[in-house]
Structure formats: C-alpha cells, structure tokens
Amino acid sequence: MSNYSKSWDGGIFKSCDETIQGGKSFSDIVFPGTVIGLGGGLGVGKTTFVKGLLEGLGYIGNVTSPTFTLVNQYNLDSTIYHIDCYRETDLESWMKLGINEYINSGSIVIIEWYGYIESILPSDMIKIDFKMLSQNSRQIVIRK
C-alpha cells in the first residue's frame, strides 16, 4: 500500500492557497494503492488540502467534502475515493458500505476523520494530522 518517504513533511500553512499548494506538493508521493488518513477538527483545512492533492494529480473540476455523501469518486488515470467518516462513525456500517473494497481496489483512498475507523484501516496508511494554530494558520504533520 503506502510507499511513503520523507520527501514531504507538512508544515505551517497560513492561507487556503498555501494549504492547496501543500496538497499539490504532497501529490508527488501519492500513487495508486495509497491510503491516506486525514485527522483534525472541523474547518482545519482537510478538504482544502484534498483540493490541492487532486489538482496536483491532474484533476480539473469541483472538489467538495463528502460529509453528506460519505464517498466522492474522482476519475483520473486511476480512481480516487474521498471518504468522510464524520457523520458515520460505526465500523459495522462502514463494513456494509464496502470500505474494504475501496481500500483494496488499488485506487488512491483519502479518508477524512479516519480515527473513527482506524482499527479497520491498513497499518501502512499515511496519516496526516491538521491543527488550527490561528484563524488563518494551520499546522499539517505526517505521522506513521
């Protein structure tokens, strides 16, 4: 699954544009089969980061939070699944929704609020945590 290297270390991002640029930069180390977990509170920039990540992978189009749809699918050279666990935290429900099929599809899978279902996610998943430092400043940290 993950072949993460230390070529992207996150950092402090002081605007939406910087967060998008961070996502674009991160896209250089993402490949089909990568599972990425995004953690942090509401409004810390997770979906903004995903916009940059998808842009860096070549996606041109609208990128929205899957908070209400649970899963958004973006089709590029490979499929990208953008999943949000904020409204559905029950592991059994995610199993019924086919979370394992998404994870094992060979696609890029991005999971916001991954902590709710971490026990069923791959151990080699890339975990990225977002922390609000001020109204305009966020810290983004990769952890293994």
Question: In the chain, what are the domain boundaries?
Answer: 11-143
> CB atoms < 10 A from the CB of 77, how many?
8
Q: Which residues contact 117 (CB under 8 A, 6 or more apart)?
A: 85, 89, 91, 94, 99, 111
pLDDT of residue 7: 59
Per-chain mean pLDDT for the chain: 91
Which of 54-76 are b and which e, b meaning 16 or more Cβ less than 10 Å from the residue's Cβ? bbbbebeeebebbbeebebebee
Query: Phi/psi of residue 142, each to 5°?
Result: -90, 135
pLDDT for residue 144: 64
Give this prediction's pTM. 0.91
108-89-39-19 Cα dihedral, nearest 10 degrees: 70
pLDDT band at 5 (very low <50, low <70, confident <90, very high): very low
* Domain 11-143 class, CATH top level: alpha beta
The residue that leads in pLDDT, 8 or 95, is: 95
Instruction: Quote the CA–CA distance of 40 and 127 in Å, as a whole number.
Output: 11
Lowest pLDDT segment from 1-5, 32-36, 44-48, 104-108: 1-5
